[in-house]
Amino acid sequence: MRKRGTDDRKAPQQRHEDPRRQPTAATSRSEACDKPGSVIDASMEEVLGARNTVTGATPHYPGNSQRRRDVQTRPERIKEANQLASEDEAANSDSDALRRLLKERDVEQQQLLRKLKRLRETQEDTVHDYGAALREREATIQELYNQIHSKSRAFDELQHSNAHLLQKLDEIQERVFRFMNKGGSTSQGDEKTRNDLLRLGDKMKAWARNNSSPAEQRIKELSIDQKQEIISDLSGYCLQHDWDDLMQMMPPKIVERITVLFVQAMLSKHVFCKFFSNPFFVLEGQEQTIFPASLQLFNLYQAIMEADETEAHVWRSQLIRLFQTSEKASQLDSPLGKALHGSLSRMAAQLREDFLQGPARYLLLTPSNERASQVRKMLEDIFYYAAQLALSLWTQRSFLKYQTLRDLSRFFNGRENVGAHALHRLDEEDTRLDGKQVLVVIQPALLAFGNDEAEYYDQHKVWAKAMVLIDER
């Protein structure tokens, strides 16, 4: 028995060393442990087997009946296991669905966080923009307030100045009335006026003829820019065409004397634009502290005309009488007479320089040193004479208006306000140029509306006819 037991104890070692050994009870137990519900049965079976080996008895143990019962309940266990597996699978599925849901919620949360961040940024930008706009509006309001304050002060100063000017005007009107009561006359007669204007035209024509270069030679020397400068200076008196095109529209007998004609037209434009458009021209260049500016009085004159045309012309004629440089006006013992003394002389000298330095210089002769001063003096005398004549006409109650190319675009022989230049050799009854286009106004027409009784301002009389060049084609 002992020897057998020893062999039995050694058997496991041999079995361990032999990998091809047969399964033993222990091995069966180990394998049985891997199966559900067989751990206890395997243990019992090993104990009983060992005992039977010692005693030589047939293996039998009470657990056999239990095993049979276990075999009978195995489908239920399988079913239960399957049910548990299904539940585990369902749990795993629910777990996966929950994970997906959590992941979706996490994505939504991230999106909401980003959206919230954008909304915060937008809100901050909006607050910043509103703040900037508010500051800008406050600055604008402050600027407007400053402007209002400044304009308020300027308005107060203007009111004070206007009150001072009105006081001056009242004083002037009183002097005018006193002067008129002494026997002053306001009208020199239409015939004398026409003769004076003819004399002015003759002076301008003679000066242009004596001081203009020969046309043929000078035209060749002129550049394109110089020619265009001459045409532009005659705006309102000459068609604004290219020089060469304009020359082609004129007959050769006129082109041969175009330098004289253009100089005369330029001189007429300077005279009429300066002296016959604003009756208060003599005040230009005067200090406003002594008397109102020319433009101020002219605007006041127009405002009065809108309210009462007759009263406006009466007021203007009375006021201009104080500006005359006649012997009686110069003897007025007033600051105005002293302030305006020599004003026309200075104005005539300035107009002379402006004319000689303008585009007319391209068409003028270069005088010798001995003759230069004489030429300048004669030109200054023309401007001085025109200023005195204009002042004398503005003292009358008639309203003056001169007509240029805008009013004389087409020629009709026999009209009272326009006549063709002598170079056209047009008789009084010759109608061959009727309806033809006027190319150049050499001298504008001068019309007088109303009479010396301040009546009939819807009617006019012609004091000077326009002299024009016509397209003969």
pLDDT digits (tens, 9 = 90+) for 199-243: 999 999 999 999 999 988 888 899 999 999 999 999 999 998 889
Higher pLDDT, 104 or 35: 104
Of 257, 247, 274, 252, which Cα lies nearest the Cα of 386? 274
Angle at Cα 97 formed by Cα 93 and Cα 98, nearest 5°?
Answer: 115
Query: Could you say which DSSP state residue 359 is in?
Result: G
Whether the Cβ atoms of residue 411 and residue 435 lie closer than 8 Å to each other:
yes
State the pLDDT confidence band at 460, using cuts at 50, 70 and 90: very high
**What is the arithmetic mean of pLDDT over 176-190?**
56
Q: What is the mean pLDDT of residues 334-351?
A: 73
Q: What would the pLDDT profile of 93-103 be if each residue is shown by its tens digit?
A: 888 888 888 98
State yes or no: pLDDT of 67 exceeds 60. no
Residue 341, pLDDT score: 59
The mean pLDDT of 301-330, rounded to a whole number, is 77
Coil, strand or helix: which one is 15? helix
The phi, psi pair for 469, rounded to 5°, reads -105, 140
464 secondary structure, DSSP code? E
SS3 448: strand
As a whole number, the mean pLDDT across the chain is 79
> Is 209 exposed, middle or buried, given 0-12, 13-18 or 19+ CB atoms closer than 10 A?
middle
pLDDT tier at 340 (50, 70, 90 boundaries)? low
- Tokens, residue 278: 């604003």
Q: Identify the pLDDT of residue 442.
A: 96
CB 440 within 8 A of CB 261: yes
Least confident span in 177-186, 213-222, 240-249, 250-259:
177-186
Q: Does 90 or 211 have the greater pLDDT score? A: 211
Question: What pLDDT, on a 0 to 100 scale, did the predictor assign at position 36?
Answer: 44
Positive or negative torsion for Cα 249, 255, 258, 260:
negative
User: Is the pLDDT confidence value at 377 over 90?
Assistant: yes
Q: What is the pLDDT of residue 70?
A: 55
Distance CA 420, CA 204 (A): 17
Average pLDDT of span 43-68: 50
Beta bridge partners, 446, equal 402, 464
Give tens-digit pLDDT for 399-436: 999 999 999 989 999 899 999 999 999 888 888 999 99
Where does the pLDDT of residue 273 fall: very low under 50, low under 70, confident under 90, or very high at 90 and above? very high
Q: How confident is the model at residue 305 (pLDDT cuts 50, 70, 90)?
A: confident
Find the helix packing angle between 309-320 and 63-181, rounded to 10°: 60
In the predicted structure, residue 21 carries a pLDDT above the cut 60: no
- Give the pLDDT confidence score for residue 242 in this predicted structure: 87
* Least confident range of 185-189, 255-259, 393-397, 421-425: 185-189
Choose between 421 and 76: higher pLDDT.
Answer: 421
CB proximity list for 31: less than 8 A, separation 6 or greater: 23
| Lowest-pLDDT choice from 66-70, 82-86, 122-126 | 66-70
| Mean pLDDT, range 145-167, rounded to an integer | 79
Parallel/antiparallel/unpaired status of strands 445-449 and 399-403: antiparallel
Task: Give the pLDDT score at 259.
Answer: 94
168 CB-contact burial (10 Å; exposed 0-12 / middle 13-18 / buried 19+) = middle
